[in-house]
Structure 1
Amino acid sequence: MKGPLFYAKILLFGEYGIIKDSKGLAIPYNSYQGALKMSENPSDVAKKSNQNLLKYYKYLSDLKTDLVHFRLDELKRDIDGGMYFDSSIPQGYGVGSSGALVASIYDKYADDKITVLENLTRDKLLNLKHIFSLMESFFHGKSSGLDPLNSYLSLPILINSKDHVEPTGIPSQKQGKGAVFLLDSEITGETEPMVNIFMNKMKNEGFRRMLNEDFAKYTDACIDDFLHGNVKSLFGNVKNLSKVVLSNFKPMIPMAFHQIWQQGIETNAYYLKLCGSGGGGYILGFTEDYEKAKDLLKNYKLELVYRF
């Protein structure tokens, strides 16, 4: 048995903002993927994954919802038979490792599942997002359901608000000098503590005002620019967003990266932003000249995501 592949995802814009109902844009990232597999001679990693699937099975067994029904007996039988999730998606890196697992379990074991092939109405998408939110809460304590949705549909998703998500098209890549890239912090981040820090900050009126005014304004502008291919305007808005994040989300940026974050803003060679909840994992970069950015960041591991 080998299940279909489910890909990693990158939230280009909207981290934290989507918790508070502003816009977001997520795209599939096909460099990493995962699939459910069986093994006669499991490795230690496969055994650990199998044990985690058993815990997940228990969580799904206790889930009280009318939105979805799982064939739990079949899932338990497969887990007992040694099933595991074979994944190249790095965990704690903000690229949706748990989302791909959730998508694969839903795909294989949900009855009357909503599929990519049918007409995806707004209601169906919201239903899916809600189901995935419940399923992924096992991993993070609180989940928007967006990561599994992106992985399951393998389409760019535009989040207009909590109750309005839609698949979207993004401009095709060009062979230009500009790029979106990932910078590897080589530190594992954990979502839950970062979200808790954010929720505590939300008690502060000044922080809430910054989020509603500056953060949401620049995030929405970045999304509009990206979707419409307005590259010049995009970089101006990404720079402003990068500044806002550095000033207000410092606990989510590993200390070792504060200086190179500032360097990007001062030199205009690249701009950094959070990729997911932060605290480690990947940091997302935008540059109008990828070669120049690579040179300035030569001590770090970079991965290309998209070309302008």
Structure 2
Amino acid sequence: MTHSLFYAKIMLFGEYGIIENSKGLTLPFNSYKGTLQFSDLKDDKEQKSNLSLKAFSKYLKTLKFPSKFELNNTQLEKDIQQGMYFNSNIPQGYGVGSSGALVAAIFDKYCIHKISPSKIAKQDLKSLKLILGEMESFFHGKSSGIDPLICYMNIPLLIQPNSEVDKVGIFEGKEGKGAIFLINSGVPGETEPMVKIFFEKLKNEGFRKTLKEEFIRYNNACIDAFLKKETKPLFQNLKKLSLWALNHFSPMIPNDFLKIWKKGIDTNTYYLKLCGSGGGGYILGFTQDYTTTEKMLKNYNKEVIYRF
């Protein structure tokens, strides 16, 4: 079989907010990737992946897809019996799309009427997102479909408030003082419990009000400024977004990071936000002065993903 690679993703903006109709901006993250392969399954990791695929294939048989997106479940089951597994170095529970890449790989290989991602019409992106979301729900209980869609398309995507999806061009980052970076919390997060916390919070009218009137406004303003390359409004709204998350998403922020989260806001040196559902995994950072930020966060494992 051809080894199609599926890369990780990073949601720069929109985590949780897209559930309540905010915009979202997501990018491919090519540092990590996965591919479907065959083996004799003597390795424990390969065995575990193969068993997971067996359970996933049973779940997929319960779903009903439109004919244009129908899967060849019979061939999928045969290949799993032959020792297929997902060979991936995407860390699980880090908010960078480990299950999204797997779903994208399965859809790509077993969709009967295969369409090249580059040829998918804009009007089909919304339908495809819903289908991929149904598939990924096996892993998280509920999925918007954005992670597997970005992993499948492998291009930057803008999610609109009406769930429409647009392909967008992101300007090439130049080596400058500023940076977008990841901090490794050192522990994986679990998506389902974090999402449950969020839905519990949504039952509170005050939280719903501040989410819609503040969080979504700051989030959307950040996306608009980022796409227009407007640094000043971007960082003005990033500060508000980071402070809002500290006040309202603290259960999703690992305890060891609450102090440095606040320090970034207080010093205006860097601003942190959740990467994915939180609870662990990666934390996303933005700074206009990475040299100073690096010194302030010297004890943390960081990775620069974009320079400007």
Q: Please give the range of the TM-score, normalised by the shorter of the 2 chains.
A: over 0.9
1:211 matched to 2:232? The reply is no
1:162 Cα deviation from its structure 2 partner? 4.1
1:14-163 matches, cutoff 5 A: 14-40=14-40, 42-66=42-66, 68-118=69-119, 120-163=120-163
1:186-265 matches, cutoff 5 A: 186-265=186-265
What residue is the counterpart of 1:276 in the other structure? Answer: 276
1:33 Cα deviation from its structure 2 partner? 0.5
**In 2: Cα distance, 1:123 partner to 1:286 partner:** 33
Structure 2 portions without partners, runs of 5+? none
1:269 Cα deviation from its structure 2 partner? 1.4
- Asked whether the 8 Å contact 1:128–1:149 carries over to 2, the reply is yes
**In 1: Cα distance, 2:77 partner to 2:290 partner:** 48
Q: Residue 189 of structure 1 aligns to a residue in which SS? A: coil
1:142 Cα deviation from its structure 2 partner? 0.5
Q: Residue 299 of structure 1 aligns to a residue in which SS? A: coil
1:25 Cα deviation from its structure 2 partner? 0.2
Deviations 1:199-253 (A, max 9, x none): 1111111101111111011101100111111112211111110000000111010
Deviations 1:245-303 (A, max 9, x none): 00011101011111010000011111100001101000000011112111111111001
- Asked whether the 8 Å contact 2:118–2:153 carries over to 1, the reply is no
Which amino acid in the other structure matches residue 169 of structure 1? G
1:100 Cα deviation from its structure 2 partner? 0.3
**In 1: Cα distance, 2:213 partner to 2:71 partner:** 42
1:298 matched to 2:287? The reply is no
Q: Residue 277 of structure 2 aligns to a residue in which SS? A: coil
TM-score, normalised by the number of residues in structure 2: 0.97
Q: Residue 161 of structure 1 aligns to a residue in which SS? A: coil
- Asked whether the 8 Å contact 2:14–2:24 carries over to 1, the reply is yes
- Asked whether the 8 Å contact 1:57–1:76 carries over to 2, the reply is yes
1:2 Cα deviation from its structure 2 partner? 4.6
State the number of aligned residues: 307
1:156-175 matches, cutoff 5 A: 156-175=156-175
Structure 1 portions without partners, runs of 5+? none
**In 1: Cα distance, 2:56 partner to 2:252 partner:** 28
**In 1: Cα distance, 2:64 partner to 2:170 partner:** 37
TM-score, normalised by the number of residues in structure 1: 0.97
Tell me the C-alpha RMSD between the 2 structures.
1.2
**In 2: Cα distance, 1:5 partner to 1:278 partner:** 26
Which amino acid in the other structure matches residue 80 of structure 1? Q
Q: Residue 92 of structure 1 aligns to a residue in which SS? A: coil
**In 2: Cα distance, 1:195 partner to 1:10 partner:** 18
Give percent identity, aligned residues only.
56
